[in-house]
Structure 1
Amino acid sequence: MEQNKSLNTSYYRSLTRNMVLIVIIVSFTPMILVGGVIYDQFHESYHEKVYAHLEVLVKKHKQNIDAFLKEKLSDIRFFSAAFNFQELSNEAFLEEKLLTLREEYNEVFEDLGVVNDQGIQTAYAGPFKLVKADYSEADWFKRAVKSEYFISDVFLGLRGMPHFIVAVRRTWEGKHWILRATINFMAFNSIVENLRIGKTGIAFILNREGQFQTKLHSGIVSTEGCVNFLRSLKRNGDKIHIIEKCADSGKATIYVTAFLKGGDWLLIYKQDRLDAFSDLKHSQMTAILIFIIGGLCIITMAIVLSRGMVSRMANADQEKEMMNQQVIETGKLASIGQLAAGIAHEINNPVAIMVEEAGWIQDLLEEEDLKETENLNEFQRALKQINTQGKRCKEITHKLLSFARKTDSTVHDVHINEMIEDVVGLSAQSASYSKVVIDTKIQKDMPSVRMSQTEMQQVLLNLINNALDAMNKKGGTIDISSWSENKHVIIEVSDDGPGIPGANLARIFDPFFTTKPVGKGTGLGLSICYGIIKRMNGEIDVNSVVDKGTTFRIRIPLS
């Protein structure tokens, strides 16, 4: 046997090695081929993807900036339409509207002012003293008075700080007037500078003259090239332009541009080419690292999977061997069944004689004048018990014979409660020896059920004996309950023993499954109980909690 075990171990090791090699070869070959093709295509298309990515980012940023400008212009247009020149000329009223705008937009609006057709600011709300300020010579006023609405370039103006103006022209009593608002330069600049990629990527805005509309960047020495490029482009609001050329520093640089404010401003995103394509080298290193990790994963999975499959094959072989042993044990049980049937047949005759003799003694007691006998009641009780147990022995032997010959058991109307009391009486001695108390909770006036009483007794005795074995003489309680419900009779057998582990619950009704030591259980008891209840068109199920107990519930139809 040791030699066979050694041969099997060698066979399974060889099988595992072969499976590991096959899985590794089959997995690595397509991975190398596909990886090479993918890398080649990735290398060729990477430039296009980088450009496409930058184009999308710049276009989205352009849309955000344009939306910011249009939103602020819409706010001023709304106020100029909702309120007339006279209302807005009231500085208290204008101050209230400025406060509303600041609460809504986090002080993006610095101030508000009303300017008449002569360029004089007639009303002002804000931190500066600009009431009666004269804007008649200001470039923004000259342009704003000629159009319905206007957004200026960034300039210093009277306050000496960079800002730009959003203005809306309206008419009051035949004369033009302008509602203007100053936009906080730092708030606008932060929106533009949000577009930063890599280490060298920066965004800025120029006007037509090449003047910065955002903060001056230290990395930009001259904007002359950008201005020339700006003048060479057609002012297409949706077109994104991408070029590569050497910057002032001599490094190859990528420029991505988009027009803003109807073509008056140019949004420029600038990034060193090496920085923009730095991910290519990172991708190459990542691909190599992924290849190594993937290879290690394949090798690991090949080993684990092969060992798992071989282990399952070994377990299947072992289960097959166990099944063969169970078939042998089944043959032995069949032989024992035949022997038991013969013994039952032989026992049947003396039991019948015992029952007849008990009846004869009963007749004699009735005929003789023994009414004054002190132990007459005890004699009658003993004879009744002999008669009852003799009939039960006869039914048990009949069951053995029917089981051996595969004939139907005797079926008749059974009083469930009486049967339970009989079974409890038979198990009382064993329960007392195991320090177990059996309690019954039975519903009165239970209807009779047509069944084989001996089979049902066999089921209950098996459940009680299993509970007694589980409590292992440590003591406890077995509760047996019965009641009728929805045209069914319900019988429950509960104990407060150690319970059944969840892994075993699904198999307890399987033939030959047992957790008892070898020689102390065949694993057929619950399987037979399950078969008996199913033949009655009933159901049996189990609920168990470890360290709390187990409950078996039987449902049998009344019909």
Structure 2
Amino acid sequence: MSEDKYYRSLTRSIVLIIIVVSCTPLLLIAAIAGYQFQTAYKHKVMDHLAALVERHRENIDSFLREKLADIRVIGSIYSPEQLSDERVLENLLQSLQEHHGGTFVDLGFVNEEGVQVAYAGPFKLRRVNYADAQWFLRAMSNPYTISDVFLGVRGLPHFIVAIRVGGDGASWILRSTIDFVHFNRLVENLRVGKTGHAVIINRDGELQTQSVDKPALLPEKFVELFEGRPEQTISLMPGEGLSAPPGYESFRLERHPDVKIFEDRNPTTHSETIYLATVLKNGDWILVFQQSVHDAFRDLYEARSITVGLIILSACMIGGMAVYLARRTVKRIVQADREKEMMNEQIIEAGKLASVGELAAGIAHEINNPVAIMVEEAGWVEDLLEELRAESTETLEEVRRALTQIKTQGARCKEITHKLLSFARRTDPKVQVVSINELVQEVVGLSEQRARFANIRIRTHLTPELPPIAVSPSEMQQVLLNLINNAIDAMERKGGAIDITTRLEDGFLVVDVADTGEGIPKANLQRIFDPFFTTKPVGKGTGLGLSICYGIVKKMGGDITVNSAVGLGTTFHIHLPVAGGGSLAASEPDR
């Protein structure tokens, strides 16, 4: 991975970590608090709607019971003979209308054959036969009854409150028509929000009230609420609760057990709708309130939208800050890495200077020999020049020989100093394609004199025609020189041999540097590549040589390992990828 890709990947990782660590608590708190708030808010809304429905049910039932009570009072006070007199009915109707604001539309007295024998009201209904009317049949079998809403003879929606009056073994029916508009207004008043309204249905699924808005519910669905409930006459006691229709999930509020709440999809708008149902008229009617879920929980959804917006804004701010901090952090890491690289280069240069110092004595002696020969030959040439005056042929040949010797020894000094200066020159990290055998021979040439003083032989076993490698020549020279110097230090007391071998193995070029020294204890093998670790006496070594070698080889895409046995010697193995080849399948991290 290139440095740019590495730093970009590091930036992304830091940004991701900051966002995850910062946003996770925020999202958890928002989710938990939002859930708790939503649950509490929905329960509060449902409780409020149930209270409204329950209060309107009580108002409607009270209205019906009150009207029924008024008719029952009349039936208990007046005899059938009096009720058969239309003048009496007209007076009673006028009194009822004065006290109840026109709620009672008319009064009628019906005999047991269903014929209305007396009538007071705005319609011409005297002598009308109600024998086949449902309300009449129920009234004849019950003390009192309230009919469903129907059109009847008059052709207008209305319902009837009727009681049975007995006399002389006969049954008479006192009936009154209740103003439908006044009754319908009780239900129309139950409106909440934009879509919340109520209707009343009977056992046949027929609407008993009108609505300003077209009802979105399907009344036949609520007919199932009547299943298992026997027909009952109206009483002065509140009715029982309901069970939800089959296939619908519902729940009850503890404070309003008589109100059943469930949801269904609105067939008109295809939106979810809340339904609250409760019985009226002791189970003959059902008051159904409906409101769209979106309308009922509008404030909740608005609060949720604001919360989501704030969370998104917070996430964007966190993301922006994460990017800023990540870039700033990576910038500092880049700066630190560059400073580290500069320090590594300085350490390498320091190690190189240390190696040059170790070579100095041998190099000085190596240069001193050819220089002494050159000086001697120069003196001899000077003597010969005195003899040139005799123009002796032998003298000219001696001069030529001396000059040739001076030239040869001068070239030798130049080669030695060139090698030394080439190695001592500042490390050039530029990668070049070179021959490993040539690099080994150059380094051996630099180290031979020092090895000779320590009674150490350097032997090379170079495999010919090895593929080239792509390395920095000066850095590779330093690696080899450090290993050779360490081997010389290990054997300088009693001498020995250094064997340098080059070979090709598993697609990698391998350089082995083996010595016959004392070896490295097993306890130290794991630490020899650590910086500043050394077993040499104080002042003898810095502990940076092998660490530098390790870093250089790793940077080249290779690997360096060591095998050692105490008393037998040590062998270092350098694995380098050939030019154009791959790298190690697995490399250790830089130390």
- Which one has a bigger Cα radius of gyration? 2
TM bucket by the smaller chain?
0.3 to 0.5
